[in-house]
Amino acid sequence: MTIYNFSAGPAVLPQKVLETAQSELLNYRGSGMSVMELSHRSSLFDEIICSAESLLRDLMKIPNNYKVLFLQGGASLQFSMVPLNLAQGKKALYVDTGSWSKKAITAAKAIPKVNVEIIASSQDKNYSYIPELPQTVDQEAAYVHITTNNTIEGTAYTTIPNFGKVPIVADMSSNILANDYQVTDFGLIYAGAQKNIGPAGLTVVIIREDLLNQEAIFAPMLDYTLQVKNNSMYNTPPTYSIYIAQLVFEWLKEQGGIDSILKQNKEKAAVLYDAIEKSALFESPVRQDSRSLTNIPFITGTAELDKAFNQAAVAEGFQNLKGHRSVGGMRASLYNAFPLEGVKALVTLMDKFESEHGGK
């Protein structure tokens, strides 16, 4: 049985990347060592981390005045690091688009000397859309924080707001490298790796130089400037995860880069959204103009049928299709490495299920 892994993260990785990792696992390029065994100060690992950065810069067209960091702690640690580094004694503006932005807001509020303000929210309709943002914001604010893609709710920004000199800070965990956002539209981007980059335990941060903190942060590991000065090696970085990320970046380049993968992602998402639109049973809880390409929730309208469908899906070899425990229903996460055939197979199952269980 073919297994299709719809997990929201850690998620499916490109088969070719896993095959390369497997072939090199005991002996990396004739070194007689696994990448896991390489000193992070060795020339072999230096090549890996430099290549990872260079490929990422190439794929995302990251200008030279942005620094790239490979850190630990996930987006959740960034929720605290961003206000700690950027907003001491300042206002920090947030857009509330669901579970993860709420966590970012709560974390920012807990940082002393940061004045958190929510400038827009879609909580009124259960986060089923990206809210309209104000035309202008306080120009003294440290930043406006957005969550470009809401993994749980299945919404995404199609255009990135511009607030003059106030930089946009983005949690891009679930659609980095899956969209054609321009890095120059952001002051800082962060993303946990476990969706489109590589294994869990690696966090990518892209930060515009002028936003780097001038004063030291009380904890070295939380200090962007210190991490930049040390090229992400203030201490031992998650070396193996960086290696896998580098392989994923290489694979993505071979796929034709962002433009090409975005075309594929649009095609995959269209197959599923079209099926949902045509269905009398399944529906999307998300407003049409706010729908994510990477995380697509859908529901039948009853908990019983959701459960029955999820059981049928597991029996077909569809893994992790169940919606997030906080919202229920189903959710198909169609990251870069998820194959079109898997979406088609899902749609086939949906058709079959609908014909057996009828419309609502």
Annotated catalytic residues are: 100, 171, 195
- Select 21 or 95, whichever has its Cβ closest to its own copies: 21
222 binds its own copies (CB under 8 A): yes
Interacting residue with its own copies among 179, 241, 246, 300 (CB under 8 A)? 241
- Select 2 or 311, whichever has its Cβ closest to its own copies: 2
- Select 82 or 146, whichever has its Cβ closest to its own copies: 82
Interstrand relation of 318-319 and 4-5 (parallel, antiparallel or unpaired): parallel
Residue 40 beta carbon to its own copies: minimum distance, rounded to whole angstroms: 6
- Site size toward its own copies (CB under 8 A) is 68
Interface segment toward its own copies; rule CB under 8 A; list 59-67, 117-125, 146-154, 218-226: 218-226
Residue 21 beta carbon to its own copies: minimum distance, rounded to whole angstroms: 6
Q: Please list every residue from 291 through 330 that binds its own copies, using CB under 8 A.
A: 317, 319-320, 325
Interacting residue with its own copies among 172, 205, 244, 261 (CB under 8 A)? 244
218 binds its own copies (CB under 8 A): yes
1 binds its own copies (CB under 8 A): yes
Interacting residue with its own copies among 62, 84, 166, 252 (CB under 8 A)? 84
- Select 207 or 244, whichever has its Cβ closest to its own copies: 244
233 binds its own copies (CB under 8 A): no
Interacting residue with its own copies among 47, 50, 63, 110 (CB under 8 A)? 110
Q: What is the Cα–Cα distance from 53 to 154, expressed in whole angstroms?
A: 29
245 binds its own copies (CB under 8 A): no
3-state helix/strand/coil string of the chain: CCCEECCCCCCCCCHHHHHHHHHHCCCHHHCCCCHHHCCCCCHHHHHHHHHHHHHHHHHHCCCCCEEEEEECCHHHHHHHHHHHHHCCCEEEEEEECCHHHHHHHHHHHCCCCEEEEEEEECHHHCCCCCCCCCCCCCCCCCEEEEECEECCCCEECCCCCCECCECEEEECCCCCCCCCCCHHHCCEEEEECCCCCCCCCCEEEEEEHHHCCCCCCCCHHHCHHHHHHCCCCCCCCCHHHHHHHHHHHHHHHHCCHHHHHHHHHHHHHHHHHHHHHHCCCCECCCCHHHECCCEEEEECCCHHHHHHHHHHHHHCCEECCECCCCCCCEEEECCCCCCHHHHHHHHHHHHHHHHHHCCC
225 binds its own copies (CB under 8 A): no
Interacting residue with its own copies among 51, 54, 72, 121 (CB under 8 A)? 72
Residue 291 beta carbon to its own copies: minimum distance, rounded to whole angstroms: 23
Q: What angle do CA 125, 177, 99 make, to 5 degrees?
A: 25
87 binds its own copies (CB under 8 A): no
Q: Which two tokens stand for residue 349?
A: 């199952």
33 binds its own copies (CB under 8 A): yes
Q: Which residues bind its own copies (CB under 8 A)?
A: 1-3, 5, 7-13, 15, 18-19, 21-22, 25-26, 31-34, 36-42, 72-77, 79-80, 84, 107, 110-112, 192, 194, 198-202, 216, 218-222, 234-241, 244, 317, 319-320, 325
